Amino acid sequence: MSIFDELEGIHAEALQALETAASSAALDAWYTQYLGRKGAVTLQTRSIGKLSQEERPEFGKRINEIKQQLEAAYAAQSQALKAAELEAALMSDTIDITLPGRPVNPGHLHLTTQTLRQIYDIFGRMGFEVYEAPDVELETYNFDLLNIPDYHPARDMWDTFWIDQKQPAPDGRLLLRTHTSPGQMRVMRERYPEPIRVILPGKCYRYEQITARSEHQFYQVEGLAVGKHITMTDLIGTLTQFVNLFYGPGHKMRVRSSYFPFTEPSIEVDMDCILCGGAGCRVCKYTGWLEIAGAGMVHPVVLKNGGYDPDEWSGFAFGPGVERPAMMKYGISDIRLFYGNDLRFAQQF
């Protein structure tokens, strides 16, 4: 076989092999095999020395033609293969823009917050502003200034969380407020001699056994109105309006005489049982009535402690809880559910 024939044979073989190179790796291997530094075509150039002077230019020319042709074929094949590989990658990585997005779970306000906001709204419409007093309170504000002397049962150490103080503070001992009533004193001392109409929402703390009916942390919304001609009728009217707006129209309300150290006279406010409508059931202990708040006319001593002369000024106060009204409104049987962090409970409201 002549050197020329051998060259043409390699050429034909290379073209055929190129057609079967179906991947980038196969194509690379093909290139090395034929056009690389030690490739079959490249090695052919060395055969030039075996040819006569006359044959050499023709052989050289032919070998260059073949190289160019193979390079071009290689480039075309390489481009086709890359396009095919890109296409395949795009097909397998497809993003389906018609798929619905994953829903985000945004959460919502806790039932206590919802209830507080309903209460703010109702009293806001009656001209009450929201006033925030501190959770950590002085003993005098929580007790003494509210006319709760040392021997009052509410002062029993078992009812109060005291704050550990390394050194005795000049203003007296600190505690976690056991009710929102100390806020009354703070508003009065701040606002005198203006008339007052505020609600004081907040968390209260009691060192108590936790049961289905009582938590050691709970909310209250204190109410306080101080003015020149305020009477018990204003108090009852305000609370009647609250019951109608919070529980809906058609409810009955009654007041009973009661005792609180910071009000005189004091009353207990009841409404007809939301469950049985007054017929009597287990929830209302067969009385037909549910207790909703303590209230009364601000005690003269408390007015005086707040800076208001009781001969000139009068006022009313009330102090309902927040969780219990919500329990009545939404039929919740256990107060522990409020802060048990069980989403199955929280999501229902």
Q: Is 315 in the site for ligand DAH (CB under 6 A)?
A: no
Distance of closest approach, residue 104 Cβ to ligand DAH, in angstroms: 41
Q: How many CB atoms lie within 10 A of CB 96?
A: 5
Distance of closest approach, residue 288 Cβ to ligand DAH, in angstroms: 23
Q: Is 305 in the site for ligand DAH (CB under 6 A)?
A: no
Residue 53 to residue 322: CA distance in whole angstroms: 112
Residues within window 161-180 making contact with ligand DAH, judged by CB under 6 A: 179
Which DSSP string corresponds to 214-258?
--SEEEEEEEEEEESS--HHHHHHHHHHHHHHHH-SS--EEEEEE
Q: Which is nearer to ligand DAH, 74 or 218 (CB)?
A: 218
Q: Is 318 in the site for ligand DAH (CB under 6 A)?
A: yes
Q: Is 39 in the site for ligand DAH (CB under 6 A)?
A: no
Among 221, 255, 295, 302, binds ligand DAH (CB under 6 A): 295
Residue 322, classed as helix, strand or coil, is coil
Distance of closest approach, residue 194 Cβ to ligand DAH, in angstroms: 19
Structure tokens at 178: 């056991």
Which residue is listed with tokens 């929280």? 346
* C-alpha torsion sign, points 44, 45, 49, 54: positive
Residue 112 to residue 119: CA distance in whole angstroms: 11
- Residue range at the interface with ligand DAH (CB under 6 A); choices 99-107, 190-198, 294-302, 330-338: 294-302
Distance of closest approach, residue 294 Cβ to ligand DAH, in angstroms: 3
* C-alpha torsion sign, points 76, 82, 85, 86: negative
- Residue range at the interface with ligand DAH (CB under 6 A); choices 27-35, 56-64, 186-194, 292-300: 292-300
Q: Which is nearer to ligand DAH, 7 or 146 (CB)?
A: 146
Distance of closest approach, residue 344 Cβ to ligand DAH, in angstroms: 31
Among 77, 181, 305, 314, binds ligand DAH (CB under 6 A): 181
315 and 297 Cβ atoms separated by less than 8 Å: yes
CA distances from 56 to 4, 11, 47, 66, 83 (A): 11, 18, 10, 15, 40
Q: Is 131 in the site for ligand DAH (CB under 6 A)?
A: no
Among 317, 322, 326, 337, binds ligand DAH (CB under 6 A): 317
DSSP assigned state of 162: B
Among 222, 270, 272, 323, binds ligand DAH (CB under 6 A): 222
Q: Is 314 in the site for ligand DAH (CB under 6 A)?
A: no
* C-alpha torsion sign, points 155, 160, 164, 169: negative
Among 183, 296, 306, 325, binds ligand DAH (CB under 6 A): 296
Residue 113 to residue 124: CA distance in whole angstroms: 16
Distance of closest approach, residue 230 Cβ to ligand DAH, in angstroms: 13
Q: Is 201 in the site for ligand DAH (CB under 6 A)?
A: no
Distance of closest approach, residue 179 Cβ to ligand DAH, in angstroms: 3
What does DSSP say about strands 129-130 and 289-298: parallel, antiparallel, or unpaired?
unpaired
Length of the chain: 349
Question: DSSP alpha helices (H): ranges in 111-150?
Answer: 111-125, 139-142
263 and 297 Cβ atoms separated by less than 8 Å: yes
Q: Which is nearer to ligand DAH, 204 or 274 (CB)?
A: 204
Binding-site ranges for ligand DAH (CB under 6 A): 179, 181, 222, 260, 263, 294-296, 317-319
